[in-house]
């Protein structure tokens, strides 16, 4: 590999570069749905969690509330998700998929499966699973805490 660049020395740069490449490939697989990969992931996380509180959803997505709100805005506008008050604490806002959002998410899952299958074929299914486990660890609060504590020592 000629001109390997900074990503061969810096884990953060390598992950960001790979993330941009994969994001483009997966978004291409989403086709003309009009949604970005982040929005698909968000719809899937909402579906998995039922009706998560905004704070819990932001934590699951490793986003701050402002970024989550920015990402949710077009999904709310297009009728795919809605904000509802928590029945026990009206100050807490929950997010849920609408009927249209459920249908859109199901369509996107089928398209995502094609992209995921292609990734597994090219990268290898075992290496793909190993990579997801490593990235899950890196995105965990425990890793962030250990990283921060290592910087303080």
Q: Where are the domains of the chain?
A: 34-144
Inter-residue contact 17 to 7 (CB < 8 Å): yes
CB within 8 Å of 111: residues ≥ 6 apart: 29, 30, 31, 33
Q: What is the pLDDT of residue 129?
A: 96
3-state secondary structure of 2: coil
CA–CA dist 70, 51 (Å, integer): 18
The 3 state secondary structure assigned to 53-76 is EHHHHHHHHCCCHHHHHHHHHHHH
pLDDT exceeds 80 at position 3 = no
Q: Give me the architecture of the 34-144 domain, per CATH.
A: Orthogonal Bundle (1.10)
Tell me the pLDDT tens digit for each residue of 111-151: 999 999 999 999 999 999 999 999 999 999 999 999 999 87
| pLDDT for position 32 | 85
pLDDT at 101 over 90: yes
The structure's pTM equals 0.80
What is the spatial distance between Cα 141 and Cα 25, in angstroms, rounded to a whole number? Answer: 28
| DSSP string for residues in 72-140 | HHHHHHTTSEEEEE-SS-TTSEEEEE-HHHHHHHHHHHHHHHHHHHHHHHHH-HHHHHHHHHHHHHHTS
Is the sign of the CA dihedral 126, 106, 48, 83 positive or negative? Answer: positive
Helix then strand then coil, % of the chain, to nearest 5: 75, 5, 20
> Can you tell me which residue has the tokens 């020592």?
153
């Amino acid at each position: 590999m000629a001109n390997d660049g900074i990503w061969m020395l810096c884990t953060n740069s390598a992950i960001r570069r790979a993330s941009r490449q994969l994001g483009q490939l997966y978004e291409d697989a989403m086709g003309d749905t009009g949604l970005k990969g982040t929005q698909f992931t968000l719809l899937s996380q909402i579906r998995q969690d039922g009706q998560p509180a905004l704070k819990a959803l932001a934590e699951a997505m490793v986003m701050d509330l402002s970024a989550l709100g920015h990402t949710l805005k077009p999904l709310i506008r297009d009728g795919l998700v809605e904000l509802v008050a928590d029945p026990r604490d009206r100050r807490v806002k929950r997010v849920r998929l609408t009927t249209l959002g459920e249908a859109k998410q199901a369509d996107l899952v089928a398209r995502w499966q094609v992209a995921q299958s292609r990734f597994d074929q090219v990268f290898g299914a075992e290496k793909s699973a190993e990579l997801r486990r490593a990235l899950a660890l890196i995105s965990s609060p425990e890793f962030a805490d250990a990283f921060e504590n290592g910087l303080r020592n």
